[in-house]
Amino acid sequence: MTNDERRIARIFRARDWIPLTDAFLRIMPFAGNKVAGAEGCINQGLQQGWLHAALVSFDCTTIKKHFEPSDWQQQSDGQQRRVRAPLRPAEGVRVEPYEEGLWFIWCVEFDAEYPMNPAMPATTAAAAAADRQLSPLSKLDAWVAEHGFECTNGRPKEGWTKFYDRCRDDCDGWADKKNGKPAADFSNKTIERRLQHAGFKPKPDK
């Protein structure tokens, strides 16, 4: 969002914003209709700055605060602001930790990333990426958005070796699978960096 757009958006105008829950539901088909995948997509967008959110007063007259990418990064006290959804997102998507007000996503950027087009065969984040022109998700980024939550407690249950191999299997990330040679953009280190970039905090095996 540019400085000019911020000045224009100081007074809340509903047509310029989409409620957080509605935005989340529109992302769902792009993430294979998986709640965890949609969480990954929207949090990644907010952390990287190609989506922007605002906290609005309950009477929808005033924007209380615009949020920048740095607001979605882990803070010095260990807290990290994140979008969370229940198993049935239509019941209400929230932001943790709680802040008083209503959450909205800036429409201009959101419509470019997640167009409302019923004819588009977007059943996964990877399929949707092929049709987007602004900040497209790579196959690896789409996979990370969908599976990164498995690292919530520091490491996947299956261990990092099998996790990385599964990523390469799903994303055609092998140069020579028989000899265990990953493609150039699918080394363990690259996958780890993409997890960190998406807001997950991988903890390597000892």
Buried b (16+ CB within 10 A) or exposed e, 3-13: eeeeeebeebe
Would residue 154 be called left, alpha or beta, if left means φ above 0 and alpha means ψ between -120 and 50 degrees? Answer: left
71-83 per-position pLDDT tens digit: 998 878 878 999 9
C-alpha dihedral, 193 to 140 to 32 to 198, nearest 10°: 20
The mean pLDDT value for 5-27 works out to: 78
Query: How far is 65 from 58, CA to CA, in rounded Å?
Result: 13
Give Cβ neighbours of residue 98 (< 8 Å, ≥ 6 apart).
none
pLDDT digit string, tens, across residues 90-128? 989 999 999 999 999 998 888 888 887 544 434 444 444
